[in-house]
Amino acid sequence: MTGFRIGHGYDLHRVAQGRALMLGGVRLESPWGLLGHSDGDVVLHAICDALLGAMGVGDIGQHFPDSDERFRGIASSELARRVAALLAVERWVVVNIDVTVHAEQPRLAPYRHAMRTRLAALFGADVTAVSVKAKTNEGVDAIGRGEAVAATAVVLLAEA
């Protein structure tokens, strides 16, 4: 029987004026972006954490620490490419990715297909195996007040 592993990831970044909003490797129209050492893409960070966890090789902070200047301002899609390369080295393939974005704004519906397509390409999955959902926090906490955006991700890997 082929081995399977499940991974779970989470990330949250504060909103910041004057930055591009990147989610799932896609630039969204917004007057603000997310504050971070990299481009702050919470979707890619949560997915990378889920994949690294499922492989049993640590987390995003161990592989790409914010104390390392090489990663300052890096596109999270580059971090995703490195995690995807590690999947191949560790002999795993992505079966599916399920991600939820927790934010009051912006509306994700216009970007959902582009995000699914981009995530599928980055991680070598079929687009039909990638789900992107959005939830608000109903005005509760920093996310609900529009001060932050978070993402949760679950992945299933199979032995290659």
Query: What is the domain range of residue 65?
Result: 4-159
Structure-token pair, residue 74: 């890096």
pTM listed for this prediction:
0.96
**Which CATH number fits the domain that encloses residue 15?**
3.30.1330.50
Cis status of the peptide bond prior to 31, with omega within 30 of 0: no
Helix (H) or strand (E) holding 158: strand 148-159
101 pLDDT more than 80: yes
What is the pLDDT averaged over residues 101-113? 96
SS (H, E, C) 7-29: EEEEEEEEEEECCCEEECCEEEC
- Distance from C-alpha of 39 to C-alpha of 64, rounded to nearest angstrom: 13
- Phi, psi for residue 87 in degrees, rounded to 5: -55, -45
The one-letter amino acid code at 60 reads: I
Per-residue pLDDT tens over the stretch 60-90: 999 999 999 999 999 999 999 999 999 999 9
Give residues with Cβ within 8 angstroms of 66, minimum separation 6. Answer: 36, 37
Give the model's pLDDT for residue 2: 66
Structure-token pair, residue 84: 């995807």
Number of domains comprising the chain? 1
4 pLDDT more than 90: yes
Helix (H) or strand (E) holding 6: strand 4-17
DSSP 63-114: HS-TT-GGGTT--HHHHHHHHHHHHHHTTEEEEEEEEEEE-SSS--GGGHHH
Per-residue pLDDT tens over the stretch 9-52: 999 999 999 999 999 999 999 999 999 999 999 999 999 999 99
